[in-house]
A and B are shown apart, each in its own frame.
Chain A
Amino acid sequence: MKQALRLRMLLAALLPVALVAVTLTFVFLHSHLSELEAALNGRGRAIARQLATAAEFAIFSGSEDAMRRLAEGALTGDGDLRGAAIVDDSDHVLARAGAIHPESWRPGAKAPRGLLVISEDVRRSVTPVDDIYGGGIGAAPAAPPKLVGRVVVEISEANLVARRDQLLAWGAAVALLGVVLGGWLAVGIARGIATPVLAITDAVERIGNGETGARVELRRKTPLDSLVHGINAMAERVGLTQEELRLKISEATAELLMEKETAEHATAAKSRFLAAASHDLRQPMHALGLFVSSLAQSSAAKSEAHLVVQIQSAVTALQEMLDALLDISRLDGGTVIPRINSFSLRTVLDRMATEMMPLAEARGQRLRVRRTGLWATSDRQMIERILQNLIGNALNHTAPGGQVLLACRRREGAVLIEVWDTGAGIPDGARQEIFEEYVQLNNPERDRAKGLGLGLAICRRLAELLGHPIGVRSRVGRGSVFWIELPQAGEPPLPLSPTTMLQAKLDGLILVVEDDPLVADGMQQVIGGWGGRVVLARSRAEALALCDGDETPALLLCDLTLAGGDSGIALANELRALHGPLEVLLVSADVSQEAQVAARQAGFALLKKPVPVGRLRAALQHLLK
């Protein structure tokens, strides 16, 4: 575009100049050449006429000598004259001088190239003497002059041609000079206009692209200065306005950001507090569980067996509440990533029934499961968690003697898992409310035995995370149905055969690395109770030292993070490198995704604290098998 503009400007300026220069040169040349030619012609004609006049008497007198002298005389003093001849009225040559081509004398014959042939008639001059004295009749018109011969003059055009060539060369040079000068001027003009125009275009384009600081910058004065100043002033105005706007926007944005940060900060602080608090609660809870379990196995428990059972029940409730709190905090922390798989709903429902049946029976309620052959696609653990909560919730709101039904049905390519209860039902206005945290209907006194009120909130969060619709329909006084809708799975993959846990004695030395003496003690007692042999180490160094002994442990049970900040995974790898095969079971209060990923990548099993005693035993049995 720049080139095109420059080219156009150049052409617009150069073309007239070139045209004028060339035309003027051509016109002047042409006229000058015509004049030269006319002059030569005129000279030739004059010479011929003069010669013809002079030759008249010579022809009259018939003096060839005189004629030759005349012809030769005509030749002298004119370089262009090649030849001259005098012929009589029958074209008989009377006299000739110089180089002359007789063939060109014939009338109508074409003159040889480069020659100008001029023929002039010689007529006898008429003297009016034929009056009556002379024998005439007086007033008779005089007879026309008699043709007595011709004079032929040949003029060489060589000089004319040479002069013409010279003139042409000069003309071309002058035209070229004119064009060059014109071109120089044109370039100057084109630059004078094109440069500011291009600069303006560029600046306008940049301003158009949002670069409000762009200005037309010209080093030299140009005819478009006022336009340039105008555009610069306009750009400045626009820039100022835009700058003001931007400032206001950024101020507003900063304010918003600050508020958002404050809010986020508050939420994060809350989540952190919750996570930290629940994490800190886990450690004693873990120990408490271990101790109660140990107590139940001891002989002391036999006398106050019911007391032990109550303690165990309370501990379990505590653990559940803690789990619920932890779940909420994890879900709010956004660290949970669903792992989607296809699974059999029958297995899930059976598991739920097995898991929840004791609780229902304990409360004198019936828990029924309608068998199903459907499969669904989702995160199985999350679904189980949801169902646990829904079933727990149903049991809580059902009076003793009531019943809870667990069933599945298809709905438009999806599967609905429904939990029916025969409770009091939920009023219309409360149906959305119940999914909020700490909302408990019919529990204004906040009886802890009825839970924290976090169950449905967890369900809602999990369902949202999985993208599954969740809802409730209810009739007050008749009962409620909570449902969750899952995508139905197509091809049912082969069901995994559940590992059968054997209630066998543990075999093999177990190295427990635990700096908390309370937990370490509990571990030792529980595992010992299962027939396992335990060696305790408080730190990495102790563990390494212990392993140098006679018997190499078969299993390492340790926290992800050891005393002094050492990594449990690193220790396990170290021991494996030093002493060969070693089973590893990690426990951690760190419930973050990162911790789980780290353990999985290392290929080690990870149990989260507080570890349910049954799960611990199953894990140990599985690893030591």
Chain B
Amino acid sequence: MTYTSSVRAAGSQVWVALGDTGGVYAEAAEALRAETDRSAGARVEWRIAPYAQFRAADPAPRAAVAIGSSALRGLLDLYPEGPPFPVLALLVPRLAYERMHEGANRGGMLSAIYLDQPPARQIELIRQVLPGVRRIGALTGADSRLAVPGLERATSERGIQFLHAQVGDAGLFPALQQLLGESDVLLALADTSVFNSQTVAGILTAAYRRQIPLIGFSPAYVKAGALAAVYSTPAQIGLRGGELLRLVLTGQRLPPPQWPREFSVSVNSNVARSFGLTLDEGRLTEQLRQKERGQ
């Protein structure tokens, strides 16, 4: 899958390694290419393919974009000494990225736009949705535990208590029961050991019975019964990726890894109604943006 743009400059080949052939990756890749092609002055020779098709023996590109954790892992694994070209990771959770690279920038040669949202944005959403909230609870697993300090910081800045319960050997439910008994709202954190397709229904049901809303982290959660979620779409991330890639193509260094700049808010209006709330996705998004600009 090789795209060649009309503006072709020598040595301006860009690899786009896809984590999978799934729609979200292609969507991000398409947004990336569109943004790059729109603004770059030079021709870019695109090589967009599943990461497994790329070989170390292939002529090194001008830059590479890894979309998805597996693509990043695959690309990094091609070069034990590190890729000899700048690599930008997209759609990678912060935790996963940090685990792979210990958070280093490698001299502007490696960077990422995280998939997850900054804690402040999530807490701010909760404040927008539920203005009177005092205590925010979160179930944590082995992975998501690492997100706790950031969240605690974000809540304490806003005078909100952050409670978290670790899911242990006794199972999920006791921790959930405990948390539900103390929290005003439950914040779901991306951690497959806690939140997965098998557990979400139970968690939502339990929360609902306690009349405690759940704030998710993806549109799927909103659809499943979460009150609201803030997230960045692949297109939004791809577009931001295009902006960063343009820097590389113009000879600049990659900026450090960063949270996605653009985001969306989804609201489950049925759930909102059952909690006596009237929420508007567009307004919430706008309020959050203004809030972030104002900071």
Chain A positions within 8 Å of B, measured between CB atoms, are 56-57, 60-62, 124-139, 142-143, 145-146
**Contact at A134–B202, with CB atoms within 8 Å?**
no
**Contact at A124–B201, with CB atoms within 8 Å?**
yes
Q: Which residues of A contact B218 (CB under 8 A)?
A: 129, 131, 133-134
**Contact at B224–A129, with CB atoms within 8 Å?**
yes
B118 at the A interface (CB under 8 A)? no
Q: How far is the CB of B267 from chain A (nearest CB, A)?
A: 16
Contact residues of B between 177 and 199, Cβ < 8 Å to A: 177, 190-192, 195-199
B294 at the A interface (CB under 8 A)? no
Q: For residue B220, which residue of chain A has the nearest CB?
A: A129
Bound Cα distance A61, B171 (Å)? 10
**Contact at B24–A124, with CB atoms within 8 Å?**
no
Q: Which residues of A contact B224 (CB under 8 A)?
A: 127-129
Given A60-B173, A127-B224, do A137 and B196 touch, yes or no (CB 8 Å)?
no
Chain B positions within 8 Å of A, measured between CB atoms, are 19-25, 68, 70, 91, 93, 115-116, 143, 171, 173, 177, 190-192, 195-202, 204-206, 216-218, 220-221, 223-225, 231
Q: For residue B198, which residue of chain A has the nearest CB?
A: A124
Q: Which residues of B contact A136 (CB under 8 A)?
A: 192
**Contact at A133–B220, with CB atoms within 8 Å?**
yes
Given A130-B196, A132-B115, A142-B197, do A57 and B206 touch, yes or no (CB 8 Å)?
yes
Q: Which residues of B contact A60 (CB under 8 A)?
A: 173, 201-202, 205-206
**Contact at B217–A133, with CB atoms within 8 Å?**
yes
Q: How far is the CB of B180 from chain A (nearest CB, A)?
A: 11
- The 9 lowest CB-CB distance pairs between A and B, nearest first, are A133-B218, A139-B22, A60-B202, A127-B200, A138-B22, A135-B192, A127-B224, A129-B220, A125-B201
**Contact at A135–B200, with CB atoms within 8 Å?**
no
Can you list 8 A-B pairs, Cβ within 8 angstroms, ordered by A? Answer: A60-B173, A60-B202, A60-B206, A62-B173, A129-B216, A132-B115, A133-B231, A138-B19
Q: Which of B93, B201, B216, B225 has the most CB of A within 10 A?
A: B201
Given A137-B20, A138-B23, do A126 and B115 touch, yes or no (CB 8 Å)?
no
**Contact at A129–B195, with CB atoms within 8 Å?**
yes
**Contact at B24–A143, with CB atoms within 8 Å?**
no
Given A137-B22, A138-B20, A139-B20, do A127 and B173 touch, yes or no (CB 8 Å)?
no
Bound Cα distance A132, B198 (Å)? 16
Q: Which of A62, A132, A138 has the most CB of B within 10 A?
A: A132
Q: Which residues of A contact B22 (CB under 8 A)?
A: 137-139
Q: Which residues of B contact A139 (CB under 8 A)?
A: 20-24
Q: How far is the CB of A132 from chain B (nearest CB, A)?
A: 6
Given A126-B197, A128-B197, A129-B220, do A134 and B173 touch, yes or no (CB 8 Å)?
no
Bound Cα distance A145, B198 (Å)? 7
**Contact at B173–A135, with CB atoms within 8 Å?**
no
Bound Cα distance A190, B116 (Å)? 95
**Contact at B202–A57, with CB atoms within 8 Å?**
yes
Additional pairs, 10, CB under 8 Å, beyond known A135-B143, A135-B190, A139-B24: A57-B201, A57-B206, A127-B197, A129-B196, A129-B218, A129-B224, A130-B192, A134-B196, A138-B22, A139-B21
Bound Cα distance A125, B200 (Å)? 9
Q: Which residues of A contact B70 (CB under 8 A)?
A: 137
Q: Which one, A56, A57, A135, contacts B93 given CB within 8 A? A: A135
Q: How far is the CB of B43 from chain A (nearest CB, A)?
A: 31
Q: Which residues of B contact A127 (CB under 8 A)?
A: 197, 200-201, 204, 220, 224-225
Q: Which one, B25, B195, B217, contacts A138 given CB within 8 A? A: B25
Q: How far is the CB of A148 from chain B (nearest CB, A)?
A: 9
Bound Cα distance A337, B293 (Å)? 173
Q: For residue A124, which residue of chain B has the nearest CB?
A: B198
Q: How far is the CB of A122 from chain B (nearest CB, A)?
A: 12
Q: Which residues of A contact B197 (CB under 8 A)?
A: 126-130, 142-143
Bound Cα distance A132, B192 (Å)? 11
Q: Which residues of B contact A145 (CB under 8 A)?
A: 198
Q: How far is the CB of A408 from chain B (nearest CB, A)?
A: 151
Q: How far is the CB of A54 from chain B (nearest CB, A)?
A: 11
Given A129-B195, A134-B196, A138-B22, do A61 and B220 touch, yes or no (CB 8 Å)?
no
Bound Cα distance A129, B91 (Å)? 16
Q: Which residues of B contact A124 (CB under 8 A)?
A: 198-199, 201-202
Q: Which residues of A contact B196 (CB under 8 A)?
A: 129-130, 134
Bound Cα distance A137, B205 (Å)? 26
Bound Cα distance A544, B68 (Å)? 179
**Contact at A134–B195, with CB atoms within 8 Å?**
yes
Bound Cα distance A126, B223 (Å)? 13
Bound Cα distance A419, B206 (Å)? 161
Bound Cα distance A102, B143 (Å)? 43
**Contact at A132–B206, with CB atoms within 8 Å?**
no
**Contact at A129–B202, with CB atoms within 8 Å?**
no
